[in-house]
Chains A and B, each alone.
Chain A
Amino acid sequence: MRMEPRIGPEGRDDELTRALRVLHAPPDGEAFWVSLERRILARVTVTEDDLWWRQLARWRRGLALAGAAAIIVAAMAARHSNHLRSLHAYNEIEGTRVAPVQVASETEREASREVTLRYVVGP
């Protein structure tokens, strides 16, 4: 077979290009495309890991909100716990200062007892 080199536009060799196109042509017939389309869709819709990521993607906003809510609740709980702890510490400290009040109240009680005694014993 003899072929003259025919160089087309932009240095393209028309004969070569034609042969290349034949080599790379897709299989003939609609059946191939129908089958390929079916296989693509089967992989896309049935892939197992697809199910979880797709579901996850759909719930992404809800999950983000739930996460944010959980963080807020945890922060509030921690704050509340700190508050209780400091209140407890305050009470511990303040508790030691109760003694003078008790002493004062004891003194008051003793004084009234003394008055009663004087009344009984007195003339």
Chain B
Amino acid sequence: MTAPTAEPAQPDAERALVREAQAGSEQAFAMLVHTHMRRAYAVARAICATHEDAEDAVQDGFLHAYKALERFRPEQAFAAWLNRIVANAALDIGRRRKVRDADSLPETLSVPQFDPSERSELRGRLGAALEHLPERQRSVLVLHDVEGYTHGEIGTMLGIPEGTARSDLHHARASLRERLRDLWSDK
């Protein structure tokens, strides 16, 4: 299930909105938030280990975007620009969490909070297997397989070469299959 998105604005209409927002219109920026918020959440959720961190990353990302709006060139794709900012915010939150977790007991390490209704065998095991993946591999896997981004787009968002995104995806899938192998073969 791809994250639901609001009706995407037409490029020209969106460009006009961006220009209005750059001129100081908060209403225009609110429209941009409304249009891109869901996609931004999906990007953040692919990178963050928890839903709560993803929410924080989306808010941070939009705040950074608002402050950097003057530097945005309207001929760019706004969504790609915004996604990169949100991805950076999500990576920052991940880094801060790692520092915090290094100071706390191993038992308190962040664990994704799953809805109880989602605790089927596969989902439960998958959540645990994802925890063992390096952060970047997990992000690449989710951005590609869940959100449908291309290797190039993922590379741009995460600041890595396209080839690295491709190789991360390969390793992430192999690692997950290995960890969940018994699910495929045993009853």
Residues of A near any B CB (own CB < 8 A)? 1-5, 11-13, 15-17, 19-27, 33, 36-37, 39-41, 43-45, 47, 50, 53-54, 57-58
Taking a contact as CB atoms under 8 Å apart, the answer to whether B126 and A20 are in contact is yes
Complex formed: what's the CA distance from A25 to B112 in Å? 13
Count of A-B residue pairs with CB < 8 Å? 105
Q: How far is the CA of A50 from the CA of B30 in the complex (A)?
A: 16
B interface: dominant SS: helix
* Interface bracket on B: 35 or more
Which partner residue on chain B sits nearest A15 by CB separation? B122
CA distance A4 to B112 in the complex (A): 26
Residues of B within 8 A of A16 (CB): 122, 126, 145, 173, 176-177, 180
Binding site for A on B (CB under 8 A): 1-4, 24, 26, 29-30, 33-34, 37-38, 41-42, 45-46, 51, 55, 58-59, 62-63, 66-67, 70, 112, 114, 118, 120-123, 126-127, 130, 141-142, 145-146, 170, 173, 176-177, 180, 183-184, 186-187
Of all chain A residues, which has the CB nearest B2? A21
A29 → chain B closest CB, angstroms: 11
A39 to chain B, nearest CB (A): 6
Q: How far is the CA of A3 from the CA of B118 in the complex (A)?
A: 17
User: Chain A contacts of B126 at CB under 8 A?
Assistant: 16, 19-20, 23
Contact A24 B142, CB 8 Å, known A44-B29, A44-B66: yes
